[in-house]
Amino acid sequence: MKRIGVLTSGGDASGMNPALRAVVRSAIVHGLEVIGIERGYEGLLNGWLKPLSLSSVGGIINRGGTILRTARSERFKTDEGLQTAAQTLHDNGIEGLVVIGGDGSFRGAVRLEEVSGVAVVGIPATIDNDIGGTEYTLGFDTALQVAMDAIDKIRDTADSFERIFVIEVMGRSRGFIAAAVGLAGGAEAILVPEIPFDPVQVCERLKQGMARGKRSAIIVTAEGAARAQEVATFVEMYLREEVRATVLGYTQRGGSPTATDRIMGARFGALAVDLLLQGQRGMMTAAHGDEVLAVPLRASWEQPRVLDESLLKLNEVLAS
Ligand code: F6P
């Protein structure tokens, strides 16, 4: 193998740049040429390619987002799109491809490998931490840090005004961010899509807290469970208390990657290059405990991740 390509695809996540840096530098140290493909799979459809050198990834370890830019490509999912992308790989002598993205990007990667014959390796990256086959996806820790800082700040106002706040976090249809950041931020209640909840019970729990002397409360809701404003309206009506809603939204996607995202980006990036050099196909890098290892890309959607409900039970106890 002489030349590999690398792209970032889907929602940007802090840690993509450290992973890209690791892919480029490990590959070059092993004697490979690296082609950067801009704007995800769109770059393969439009020929947006550029050679990457050791210095082209200098100064990005501390930057959120992705210097390769990203996109969600609908055309790539069509047969015509896949053929065009495969042709771009062949025309440019690309013999291996590293895809840094989420499970949607990995489904595309598996199809591209089938159509083109070019070996593909995935690096899981999404703030949602919802990719099967791995316990960690790049961007999750940075998103948690951002959301926790926001909760801490809002708590200052909640305490000062003796108010209830509902804070909505991202996570698409899953509650990994909400569960982790709710626990870290000491939320009085956490709402996740995986566990049905009764808004009356949530209010009754807040009421019990108030009876014990709590004068403020924070409810963390995952965007896939309930929208912040809906929850706030209900709680306000039920408890006859002032309630404010805050949607953290895209603040969670950006920001300088935490140490965890930089270290995991480095480890995933270097492993992805090793896997291509070993001739492996259709694999992705994964975290299991303290180890980084390779699992089939298909695991990303065939082995859905299960939310650790014990975090929520623990939070209920600690929020007493
Ligand atoms: O998958 C990452 C994520 O930030 C989700 O948490 C969120 O629901 C979604 O992307 C937003 O997607 P878009 O960038 O297309 O608005």
**CATH number for position 19:** 3.40.50.450
Q: What is the mean pLDDT of the chain?
A: 97
The total of structural domains in the chain comes to 2
Q: Does residue 58 share a domain with residue 34?
A: yes
Query: Last residue of some domain: 196, 218, 253?
Result: 253
pLDDT value for 320: 87
Pairwise CA distance, residues 230 & 302, whole Å: 33
Catalytic residues, by residue number, are 128
Is the pLDDT at 223 greater than 90? The verdict is yes
Q: Does residue 164 share a domain with residue 225?
A: yes
Domain range for 188 is 141-253
CB hemisphere CA count around 162 (13 angstroms): 6
Distance from Cα 141 to the centre of ligand 1, integer Å: 16
CB 286 within 8 A of CB 271: no
Q: Does residue 79 share a domain with residue 168?
A: no
Does any domain span residue 314? no
Per-residue pLDDT tens digits for 288-307: 999 999 999 999 999 999 99
Three-state DSSP class for 194? Answer: coil
Pairwise CA distance, residues 277 & 270, whole Å: 11
pLDDT value for 113: 98
Give the pocket of ligand 1 (CB within 6 Å).
Answer: 11, 126-128, 170-172, 223, 253
Q: Does residue 231 share a domain with residue 86?
A: no
Per-residue pLDDT tens digits for 137-147: 999 999 999 99
Identify the band that residue 53 occupies on the pLDDT scale cut at 50, 70 and 90.
very high
Per-residue pLDDT tens digits for 251-265: 999 999 999 999 999
Stretch 271-288: mean pLDDT: 98
Stretch 94-123: mean pLDDT: 97
Pocket probe for ligand 1: among 66, 69, 138, 172, the residue whose CB has the most ligand atoms within 8 Å is 172
Does any domain span residue 164? yes
Stretch 56-84: mean pLDDT: 97
pLDDT value for 120: 98
Distance from Cα 117 to the centre of ligand 1, integer Å: 31
Pairwise CA distance, residues 40 & 46, whole Å: 10
Query: Last residue of some domain: 237, 253, 269?
Result: 253
Q: Does residue 223 share a domain with residue 267?
A: no
Q: Which residue lies with its CA nearest to atom 2 of ligand 1?
A: 11
Q: Does residue 220 share a domain with residue 266?
A: no
Q: Does residue 266 share a domain with residue 129?
A: yes
Place of tokens 């393969």: 44
Stretch 12-32: mean pLDDT: 98
Q: Does residue 67 share a domain with residue 25?
A: yes
Q: Does residue 106 share a domain with residue 167?
A: no
Does any domain span residue 279? yes
The model's pTM is 0.97
Q: Does residue 110 share a domain with residue 16?
A: yes
Stretch 105-133: mean pLDDT: 98
